Amino acid sequence: MCGFLLDLPGLEADSHLVNIDQTDSLMGDTALTVASANGRTEIIKLLLKRGVSIHTPNQLQMSPLICAVRRGHWEIVDILLFNHASLEETDRHGRTPLMLAAGEGHLAVLEVLLSKGRK
């Protein structure tokens, strides 16, 4: 359904009909932050293909990467990092993705973050 809606005529990336980075008025999430928090891999891939901003936070100032890390979705974390999400971003309390993963006990996420942080 999401693919169908994004494929409608007139919804090209430069169209003003749809803002895929907009926050909703109910919970303050963007399409990418809510998909990241809920582990919706295919939706995330589709949104990234359509040019969604990987850096747009929700109204709680949590980026898609922070949302995925907090919920322990290591596959989503990997996809977002591959698409240039920053390991250095922080939540509104100054916590990095590494701090959040360690604090929440998400070992798989911690391993992904540590492997991406190596040069």
Domains of the chain (ranges; CATH) run: 2-117 (1.25.40.20)
Q: What is the pLDDT of residues 19-78, one digit of tens each?
A: 899 888 888 899 999 999 999 999 999 999 999 999 999 999 999 999 999 999 999 999
Question: What pLDDT is attached to residue 117?
Answer: 80
pTM of the model: 0.84
Question: What pLDDT is attached to residue 18?
Answer: 75
Identify the band that residue 84 occupies on the pLDDT scale cut at 50, 70 and 90.
Answer: very high
Long-range contact set of residues 28-32: C-beta below 8 Å, sequence gap at least 24: 28/58, 28/59, 28/60, 29/58, 29/59, 30/56, 30/57, 30/58, 30/64, 32/56, 32/64
Question: What pLDDT is attached to residue 25?
Answer: 85
Average pLDDT, integer, range 103-118: 94
Which is more confidently placed, 110 or 12?
110
